[in-house]
Amino acid sequence: MTSSLEDLDSAENKIFRVLFARRFSRDQLRIEWECRMLGIPSDMNRAVNQHWALTSGYHNGRLARLDKWLIDDNTVTLFLRPTEYKILLYSNRHISDIKRRWGERFLSKALGISAVVITQDEKILLMQRSANVGEYDGCYDVFGGHIECFLNRKSPDVFLAMEKELEEELAIPAPMVKIEGFGLIEACEHQKPELLFAAYAGLDHEAILSTAKAAPDRFEYNHIFVIENKFDDIHHFLRNNIHQTSPSAYGCLSVYKMQLMKGQES
């Protein structure tokens, strides 16, 4: 097990870093919502719009941005505000330029949500991303996305957003899945935060593979594949696919497997 811990430390330096790793339920998560977007410099705004004008096929939705987070004995608090998908795409592709010209605080920081989907028969479902997505096409990934924000100024429900992603990508109805948070990471390449979940589905993997054929967002991936919900299987998958796995998925699975190991030791 020591080599596995060393592998995780090495991966953190290059692919992701752990902001926190602990289990939390819906009742243990608190959202502090600022309804105003972060104002960005006018020349950066022009650059974002020029970049977006060259991008086709995507919807410029409003997403939740993570400003900061706090954690105490009983509660995880996320400080969120709206951002836009066009800012996320620009930020991901111009990170060095943004930091040099305007400062790190103007990076998108759109909060991603990623779920390790565990089936009733103790399998983990993963996907291979299609060419129809905005980033990491062809890479292996877990299921998830982003937290949509709406104009009614209400604080977004992070757990509801995760349930919605699973319903849209796998056609798993919300009552058929139990979701638990287990951490927050930051992908090193884009300094993009990702909230991590375990999604325990009340269906076996064959049933989900069948229902997923009719999922509304089935176009986002080419293939669903299955590994065992075991430390060694996750470890071998990550070791063999380190360059073919999205940073958020690599971090999500890495933190999850270490929590599996801790559970086995306790």
- Confidence label for 14 from pLDDT (cuts 50, 70 and 90): confident
pLDDT level of residue 150 (50, 70, 90 thresholds)? confident
> Which tokens hold the place of 198?
């375990």
> For residues 126 and 227, what is the distance between their CA atoms, to the nearest angstrom?
8
Q: pLDDT tens digits for 201-210?
A: 999 999 999 9
Could you give the 3-state DSSP secondary structure of residue 143?
strand
What number is the average pLDDT over the span 228-247? Answer: 94
Q: Give me 29's structure tokens.
A: 């998560």
Catalogue all structural domains in the chain, each as residue range(s) with its CATH number: 2-265 (3.90.79.10)
| Nearest CA-CA partner of 14 in 256, 259, 187 | 187
Instruction: Name the nearest CA neighbour of 162 among 221, 114, 219, 213.
Output: 114
Question: Does the pLDDT value for residue 74 go beyond 60?
Answer: yes
- Residues of the chain with pLDDT > 70, as a percent, come to 92
Q: If we measure between CA atoms, which residue out of 182, 161, 168 comes closest to residue 118?
A: 182
